[in-house]
Structure 1
């Protein structure tokens, strides 16, 4: 009897070890993904409605203040030109906020151990957090698309390209949010990263202008910013014009997403700044 119990326990530990380090822990992964999506859905007025209102205010303000005098940009009117940029800017900001806030809140409240203790590998943790960030980004994209495009009467020129870049942008910034959330130990540090890194990346990436209008120095610097290619790719998908080739944007976006995801995996797998 004792030998049978010992063998059963040993087998259970072996299976847990295999589940932890070998086969994918689908139950744990889906549970984490569900938790991360329920987080933002529970406060949808803050996470979904607020970004829609903010995007609408951007459109109204820029259309009234600049639109009549700006003229066409790359062959389309100014309001139509900035719509995809505002869409993508809002998507990446919300994708970043979802993963970064989840990790920082857990660290501040001291319950990050509830995420680290289950038999989830570093890769499974990354995928679970990314699912929440991408989910929020897609919901925001759909809401803004329905609002802006219905008002402006825009029919996406290349909807598949637009969807690809929205998903890629949400995944990239969700990964950045994981890294930032792990690095920050308190809300002040997270606010500094948002204000001095994420917001400039979003605003200075061709959201409200064509990079062709920039001086040579800023023009070159902008092309080292992966967010520029993401915004430019969505603009190509929505209105059919862009400052760079879509395939180049896809390559840069995919490479940047892979790099930041690997960094997030490394940090989570080793408990970097997570374990006391």
Structure 2
């Protein structure tokens, strides 16, 4: 049997399930191997954010949208931590492979561009869900914050991890060095995450900033999780679902196009 026939036989139909599973498994094992850094550290960071903002602002801030300030910011901090970790998972995987020169080990197997995207996203979504679960349990245990609408919360967490995971793929392909990756993180991802209603209601913003925020897809992700956890939100969760789904599909298509052309991947 020829090599080409072997390649076709391993696809089990239209999808190379074995290859997709192998790539997804590798991406999941990457962050599980260093769980203290990828899972425990985000939990500590989220706890510090909550503690500092509660001590510094909470007593003077009063209620926001009918809930106390600490409770209001808790879902936003959860979602911000999820998306930052999802972005880091895909972007670091690709950049490290490019810098070390072993990205060819991922590109050579019979995996289509779509399978590459889904394989990388599996790790990002898996890490995001575990981070969300850990922080959610912490909020329940220490602050007594439950989940009002579990399905909504789960959907927005998955969409958030997929969107930032896709953005991480795009950034990882674009960046050829760690300092380029750091610039993307510091000047694009972090500002979008912080200026998205994590620590405030957009109703308190001036009209210009409120309009700017409404064009930020991360705002709808954080607002959607806040609705899922607390039952309050600045925008309709259905609008947030449409915007987040469109943004996720768009960034995944861009990542697919980059893999299809071998953009900044093939010498």
TM-score by length of 1: 0.94
What's 1:111 paired with? Answer: 102
Matches of 1:187 and 1:83 in 2, distance apart?
31
1:84 to 53, 75, 92: 75
Output one character per residue of 1:169-221: Cα deviation in whole Å (capped at 9) or x when no partner: 00000000000000000000000000000000110000000000000000001
Q: Which stretches of structure 1, 4 residues or longer, exceed 6 Å deviation after superposition?
A: none
What's 2:164 paired with? Answer: 173
What secondary structure is seen at the aligned counterpart in 2 of 1:97?
helix
- Does residue 156 (structure 1) correspond to residue 143 (structure 2)? The answer is no
Q: Is the 8 A contact 2:11 2:17 kept in 1?
A: no
Matches of 1:149 and 1:255 in 2, distance apart?
31
- Does residue 248 (structure 1) correspond to residue 239 (structure 2)? The answer is yes
What's 2:35 paired with? Answer: 44
- Does residue 131 (structure 1) correspond to residue 113 (structure 2)? The answer is no
Q: How far has the Cα of 1:91 moved from its partner?
A: 0.1
Q: How far has the Cα of 1:155 moved from its partner?
A: 1.7
Q: Is the 8 A contact 2:10 2:18 kept in 1?
A: no
* Equivalent residue runs for 1:22-37 within 5 Å: 23-37=14-28
Q: How far has the Cα of 1:16 moved from its partner?
A: 2.1
- Does residue 142 (structure 1) correspond to residue 133 (structure 2)? The answer is yes
Q: How far has the Cα of 1:269 moved from its partner?
A: 1.6
What's 1:59 paired with? Answer: 50
Distance 1:187 1:21, change over 3 A: farther
RMSD, matched Cα: 1.3
TM-score by length of 2: 0.98
Matches of 2:155 and 2:125 in 1, distance apart?
12
Matches of 1:57 and 1:258 in 2, distance apart?
33
Output one character per residue of 1:56-98: Cα deviation in whole Å (capped at 9) or x when no partner: 0000000000000000000000000000000000000000000
Matches of 1:112 and 1:38 in 2, distance apart?
17
Instruction: Count residues with an aligned counterpart.
Output: 267
Q: Is the 8 A contact 1:21 1:121 kept in 2?
A: no
1:266 to 249, 257, 263: 257
Q: Is the 8 A contact 1:16 1:119 kept in 2?
A: yes
Unaligned 5+ runs, structure 1: 1-7
Q: Is the 8 A contact 2:28 2:127 kept in 1?
A: yes
1:68 to 59, 65, 70: 59
* Equivalent residue runs for 1:198-237 within 5 Å: 198-237=189-228
Q: How far has the Cα of 1:23 moved from its partner?
A: 1.1
